[in-house]
Structure 1
């Protein structure tokens, strides 16, 4: 009923939500953490971007983070980007056979269950609240670099209409 791709998408969103307090999460970090190829991750992240669940920035300091509050993003919001439901398809619900009725009922249970849980339920809050700060020792004793500036404005004329 729920594909492996959807399960991977749920895992991707949980990892992004856990790590976004450190900044944007790169595909390399996701790939290493989830043991998925970068191309597979990109095919998962594209529908998530299209459904406005994650946002992405390219270039140095770029990566992915969850768009909005993780306490408001339900697991069904994520899964619905990948799963089509029987209710979305044109079916005459009056003349359904017993197996089709059972499948429709089972699907509704899955939707209701995933809708009850939000992304924040699966994020390890202890890891978020106490980030690991390891001092970086370099042999030249240079000051650490300032964090990269991520612009808050649209980066093209075409994105201006999306910000309104």
Structure 2
């Protein structure tokens, strides 16, 4: 009787197919393999991180940008007051701002078009991309002629 118990204990209980330790390590390594990120995607990720950090850094300024209410506006005529938050300088002092828009996806991104309204004089135009954390443009895009309108796609910010 005791011999049968020992034999039973020696028998392996089959719990289904087993994988070797090497196979398990390969599976774990596959799960841990980092996603391949292109250089362009890295730049997008870093810019998004920069925006988040600056929104945390300039929280009060950004809050005032969105929700500032001047108590003296109630007393004055409907003219109101202006609360200066940022100052953007033009990279081209001899050109006019001919177009301006906010990015619908990134509320801290401002896109400005430069050129001349004089149709007789044809000059190179420029698109400048500003964010609220810099007073100089992040990107400059040069065009063959004056920029008269700008729009941003919310699907491709």
Instruction: Give the TM-score of the pair, scaled to structure 1.
Output: 0.20
Q: Which has the higher contact order (CA 8 A, sep 6+)?
A: 1
Task: Report which of the two has the higher share of helix.
Answer: 1
Task: Tell which structure's C-alpha radius of gyration is larger.
Answer: 2
Task: Report which of the two has the higher share of strand.
Answer: 2
